[in-house]
Structure 1
Amino acid sequence: MAESREWTYQGLRGKLVARTWSGSQAPTHRVVIAHGYGEHIGRYEAVADALVRNGAVVYAVDHIGHGKSEGERVFVEDFEDIVTDLHTLDEAARKVHPDLPVVLLGHSMGGLIASRYAQRYGDTLAVLVLSSPAIGRWSAASALLAMKEIPDVPLDVTTLSRNPAVGDRYAADPLVWHGPFKRTTIASMQRAIEEVNKGPSLGDLPLLWIHGENDQLVPIEGTRLGIEHLRGDRYVERIYPGGRHELFNETNADEVIADVTAFIRTQLTAR
């Protein structure tokens, strides 16, 4: 397994807990991971280990209000601040590894954050990987905001993966948020989606989009609108039949991570 080190830094709205995963060999590239809504970077151990075995050193941070980081739970006033906090993480990593090409990987809400990051800081990236990203049109946001009161209903964990153990672990994880959505956060998320839609395409930045065909949390049709806006010529998509929301925790997770690492290798070699 990759060795990991936990550390902290100051974000715009509080102290953030970050983690670095590394291997015994000198890395050939750096991967930055942006996690999804309500979760934390501890859920990415297996992904980070696979990326390290592929030659990466991996950096990730619990977003404000998530996991071990400070802040009111899952409360986000402005996603631009989270993008800035992620850039601060990248700047810290760049001081340690100044010459390594950078891959940004974002899942779900983290895919939205990564998309906006690529629009703001695309010249610092070599590759972008978006996993089930909440971009383009996320109809759940409009539906939730239209409600007078957002119901306190727990997530249906069966929507995460066809592997029941994934949902069981999620439900038992004390660092995962199990409460209701917060209106301010959903409104901020909707604004961030609109900002991405209004922002520039990614030009020649290599983009890999992966999505489960049976994703009920972030339906593929809405995401495709955002992808078509962002994508350039160096673009690959992988749509997995029957796949649910968390592809890295799916029953075919080995296939998914193999596709991701192969894309990264191909694009970095092309550089």
Structure 2
Amino acid sequence: MNNEIIGFVDGYKGVKLFYKACLAQQPKAKVIFLHGAGEYTEKYAYFAQWFVDKGIDVFMPDLRGHGRSGGAACHVDNFNDYAKDLDIFIKFTDKGWGNKKTFLTAHSLGALISVFYTMRFTYDFKGLILCSPCFKLRLKIAPVKAWFAAQLYDMLGNRSFSSHIKPQMATHDRQIIEKFAKDPLMHHFVTASFFVEMNKAMKIARRAAGDFKMPLAVLQAGHDRICDSKAAERFYESAASQDKEFKLYRGFYHELLNETKKEEVFIDIYDWIIKRC
């Protein structure tokens, strides 16, 4: 991608955040994109290039503890740290590339972070696009493990355990599965602190849905084995947004943007953005 800039920005408490800026020649809008848990921006390179080719800039940070960013792997001390990182990153992109019409687009954990961000910071987004948002887990975690994580949160918050997410649960695309299965920057574990902080954030987001007012699109996988699709639909229904849309992609697994029919989702996102530019 010859229109790509990569680098690092200092996040909250000085944590180095890796980022990619994928730039269109004559941009119509700007997308800030946040990935999900255990992955990193490289998994969305095709997504970024597709939108750049359509005239939309895409800016993607690796979350702290993910990919090439600093911080302990799949760990966060406080969920607010993600929101503070995002605020720093957004201001960084505004300073470097202007604050043209900006859309916050995010997958799974990134979607939860995005909603959490809007509850704590003010920014003039033209819209928020949530892909298979993580408002509640469908993935079954043994009660004893959940209890153990809660205890470790106070005693040893960076102790890790398996996320129980298998690559084949996320997409039907064998090429994606095989490409990232052995990638050392992909993580299949989380820390006790991450697990507890994420659970608290999910509850807060669900309770605050009625206060959400910005333009909203919720795009949900119809066969999501990782996050609860009903929780995503309830968030959409409760949101106070005057401009909101929900779409269920029947048969799709959790990672809409990496599915075999991903371009169907890309087109829907693009059309939604262009109507609001």
- Considering the TM-score relative to the shorter chain, is it more than 0.5? yes
Find the counterpart in structure 1 of residue 54 from structure 2: 54
Query: What is the DSSP-based 3-state SS (H/G/I as helix, E as strand, rest coil) of the residue aligned with 1:267?
Result: coil
Q: Write the deviation string for residues 94-122 of structure 1: whole angstroms up to 9, x where unpaired.
A: 11333401100110000101111223335
- What is the root-mean-square deviation in Å for CA atoms of aligned residues? 2.1
Question: Please, what TM-score do these two structures have when normalized by structure 1?
Answer: 0.90
Q: Deviations over 1:204-227 (max 9, x none)?
A: x21111111101001201222333
Query: Over residues 6-60 of structure 1, what are the superposed CA-to-partner deviations in whole Å (9 max), with x where a residue is unaligned?
Result: 111111241111110012x221211101110011111111111122122211111
Partner of 1:159: 169
Shift of 1:143: 4.7
Match of 1:138 in 2: 137
Question: Contact between 1:103 and 1:128, CA under 8 Å: does it hold in 2?
Answer: yes
For the Cα contact (< 8 Å) 1:138–1:223, is it kept in 2? Answer: no
Kindly, what percent of the aligned residue pairs are identical?
A: 25
1:37–1:99 CA distance, 2 compared to 1 (3 A): closer
Count of aligned residue pairs for this structure pair: 264
After superposing the two structures, state which structure 1 stretch, 83-92 or 190-199, moved more. Answer: 190-199
Alpha carbons of structure 1 residues 140 and 161: separation in structure 2 relative to 1, 3 Å: closer
* Superposed counterparts of 1:114-153, under 5 Å: 114-135=114-135, 137-138=136-137, 140=139, 143=142, 146-148=146-148, 152=162
User: Is residue 18–residue 59 contact of structure 1 (8 Å, CA) maintained in 2?
Assistant: yes
| Partner residue, 2:17 | 16
- The structural deviation recorded for 1:129 is 0.4
Q: Helix, strand or coil for the counterpart of 2:84?
A: helix
Q: Which runs of 5+ in 2 are unaligned?
A: 150-159
Do the aligned partners of residues 153 and 93 (structure 1) sit closer, same or farther apart at CA in structure 2, a change above 3 Å counting? closer
1:147-226 mapped onto 2 (5 Å cutoff): 147-148=147-148, 152=162, 155-178=165-188, 180-199=189-208, 201-203=211-213, 205-226=214-235
Per the alignment, do residues 151 and 188 of structure 1 end up closer, same or farther by CA in structure 2, a change over 3 Å counting?
Answer: closer
- 2:115/2:205 contact within 8 Å kept: yes
Counterpart Cα distance in 1 of 2:114 and 2:42: 19
Alpha-carbon spacing, 1:153–1:194, altered in 2? closer, same or farther (3 Å) = closer
Partner of residue 113, structure 2: 113
Asked if structure 2 preserves the Cα contact closer than 8 Å seen for 1:103 and 1:129, the reply is yes
Pair 1:107–1:201, CA change in 2 (3 A): same
Residue in 2 that maps onto 1:236: 245
Give yes or no for contact 2:102–2:125 (8 Å, CA) kept in 1: yes
Measure, in 1, the Cα distance between the counterparts of 2:32 and 2:174: 28
Q: Is the 8 A contact 2:139 2:225 kept in 1?
A: no
Q: How far apart, in 2, do the equivalents of 1:87 and 1:159 lie?
A: 31
Determine the C-alpha separation between the residues in 2 that align with 1:133 and 1:153.
17
Deviation at 1:128, TM superposition (A): 0.6
> Structure 2 vs 1, CA of residues 239 and 2 (structure 1 numbering), >3 Å: closer, same or farther?
farther
Q: Distance in 2 between matches of 1:95 and 1:153?
A: 37
Change (3 A) 1:132 1:153: closer
Residue 153 of structure 2 aligns with which residue?
A: none
Determine the C-alpha separation between the residues in 2 that align with 1:109 and 1:267. Answer: 25
- Give the superposition deviation at 1:202: 2.3
User: Are 2:36 and 1:27 equivalent residues in the alignment?
Assistant: no
Extract unaligned runs of 5+ from structure 1.
none
| 1:147 Cα offset (Å) | 4.7
Q: For residue 67 of structure 2, what is the amino acid of its counterpart? A: G
CA distance in 2, matches of 1:152, 1:109: 16
Give the TM-score of the pair, scaled to structure 2: 0.88
